[in-house]
C-alpha cells in the first residue's frame, strides 16, 4: 500500500533519470552499430607474370579465399560491415592493381559510403614463399590506421586462411580500431 502512494510522488524525480538512461542506451546502440568498410579483393604482386597477365588459377583461388576470410573475420571480430563494391567496379578495374594506385583506394571507399578501406596483397617471392600484407585506412583521409604483414612459407588453402586469421587477430584488431573503445 505504501509503495503505491510513493510512486506518484517519486515519478517526477525519476523521469529525468529514466530519460537520461534511455538516451545513453540509444547512444551505446548507435556506437555498437557496424562500421562500414570497403574490403577490396586481395591481389598478388608476382614478378614472374608479364604486365597484364592474370595470376595462376591456384593463386587466384587463394586470393579469393583471403578476401572471404578477411570479410568474415572483420565482421565477426571487428564489427565491420562490408559494403557492396559493384557500384565502383569500373573504377576499381581501372585503378588495379590497388596496391600500386597511389592512394586511389580511400576515394573509392568514400564513394561507396564506407568509413574504412581494407586492402590486401600477396608479394610473391617464390612458389612457396609469400608475404601477405593487409591495410586498413580511413576512407575520409586515406590515413592508415592498421597494417599487418605475415610471411607464408607454404602454399595451401589452410596456410593462407591461417595467415589471414592471424593478421586480423594479432595485427589489425589487437587493439580497438579508432572510433571504438
139-148 per-position pLDDT tens digit: 999 999 999 9
| Cα 13 to the center of its chain, rounded Å | 45
Report the C-alpha gap between 15 and 114 in whole angstroms. 38
Closest CA to 85 of 54, 104, 108: 108
Confidence (pTM): 0.79
Mean pLDDT over all residues of the chain?
A: 83
Q: Does the structure show a pLDDT above 80 at 165?
A: yes
Mean pLDDT, residues 87-95: 96
Task: Give yes or no for a contact between 90 and 101, defined as CB atoms under 8 angstroms apart.
Answer: no
Q: Greater confidence, 144 or 29? A: 144
Question: How many CB atoms are closer than 10 A to CB 97?
Answer: 11
pLDDT given at position 25: 43
pLDDT given at position 9: 54
| Cα 62 to the center of its chain, rounded Å | 18
Q: Which of 15-24, 43-52, 58-67, 142-151 has the lowest mean pLDDT?
A: 15-24
Task: Give yes or no for a contact between 27 and 68, defined as CB atoms under 8 angstroms apart.
Answer: no
Is the peptide bond prior to 97 cis by the omega test (within 30 degrees of 0)?
yes
Q: Greater confidence, 69 or 11? A: 69
Q: Does the structure show a pLDDT above 90 at 151?
A: yes
- Proportion of the chain above pLDDT 90, given as a percent: 58
pLDDT given at position 31: 46
113 Ramachandran zone, left/alpha/beta (phi>0; psi -120 to 50)? left
- Of the pLDDT bands very low, low, confident and very high (cuts 50, 70, 90), residue 19 is very low
Amino acid at each position: 500500500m505504501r509503495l503505491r502512494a510513493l510512486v506518484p510522488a517519486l515519478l517526477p524525480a525519476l523521469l529525468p533519470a529514466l530519460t537520461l538512461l534511455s538516451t545513453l542506451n540509444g547512444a551505446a546502440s548507435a556506437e555498437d552499430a557496424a562500421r562500414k568498410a570497403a574490403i577490396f579483393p586481395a591481389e598478388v604482386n608476382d614478378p614472374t607474370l608479364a604486365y597484364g597477365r592474370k595470376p595462376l588459377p591456384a593463386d587466384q583461388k587463394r586470393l579469393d579465399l583471403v578476401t572471404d576470410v578477411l570479410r568474415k573475420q572483420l565482421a565477426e571480430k571487428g564489427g565491420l560491415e562490408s559494403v557492396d563494391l559493384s557500384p565502383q567496379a569500373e573504377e576499381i578495374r581501372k585503378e588495379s592493381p590497388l596496391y600500386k594506385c597511389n592512394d586511389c583506394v580511400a576515394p573509392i571507399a568514400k564513394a561507396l559510403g564506407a568509413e574504412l578501406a581494407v586492402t590486401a596483397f600477396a608479394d610473391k617471392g617464390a612458389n612457396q614463399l609469400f608475404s601477405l600484407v593487409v591495410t586498413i585506412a580511413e576512407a575520409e583521409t586515406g590515413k592508415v590506421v592498421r597494417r599487418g604483414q605475415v610471411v607464408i612459407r607454404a602454399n595451401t588453402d589452410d596456410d593462407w586462411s591461417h595467415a589471414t586469421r592471424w593478421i586480423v587477430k594479432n595485427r589489425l584488431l589487437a587493439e580497438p580500431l579508432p572510433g571504438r573503445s
